[in-house]
Structure 1
Amino acid sequence: MVAETHLTVNDLVLTAIVSDAGPDRVDIPSLPGVQRLSVNALVEEARRAADLGIPAMAIFPNISENEKSEDAAEAANPKGLVPQAVRAIKDAVPEIGVIVDVALDPYTSHGHDGLMEGDIILNDPTVEMLARVGVMLADAGADIVAPSDMMDGRIEAVRQGLDDAGHTDISILSYAAKFASGFYGPYRDAIGTKTALKGDKRTYQMNPANIDVALREVELDLAEGADMVMVKPGMPYLDVISAIKAEFARPTFAFQVSGEYAMMKAAGQNGWLDYDRIMMESLMSFKRAGCDGILTYAAIEVAERLKESH
Structure 2
Amino acid sequence: MPETPRALVTGITGQDGGHIAELLHQKGYEVFGLIRGQNNPRRQSVLDEFPYVRLIEGDLTDPTSLVRAVEQSQPDELYNLAAVSHVGYSFKNPTLTADVTAKGVLNVLEAVRITGLAPTTRVYQASTSEMFGGLDYNRPGAGYNEESLFHPRSPYGVAKLYGHWIAKNYRESYGMFVACGILFNHEGERRGLEFVTRKITHAVARIKLGLQPNIELGDLWPKRDWGYAGDFVDGMWRMLQHAEPDDFVLATGETHSIEEFLTLAFAAIGVDDWKPYVVQNAAYMRPAEVDILLGDPSKAEDVLGWTRRVDFPGLVRLMVEHDLAVQSKSMAGFV
TM-score range, shorter chain: 0.3 to 0.5
Calculate the TM-score normalised by the size of structure 2: 0.35
Point out the structure with max Rg over C-alpha: 2
Higher relative contact order, chain-length normalized (CA < 8 Å, sep 6+): 1
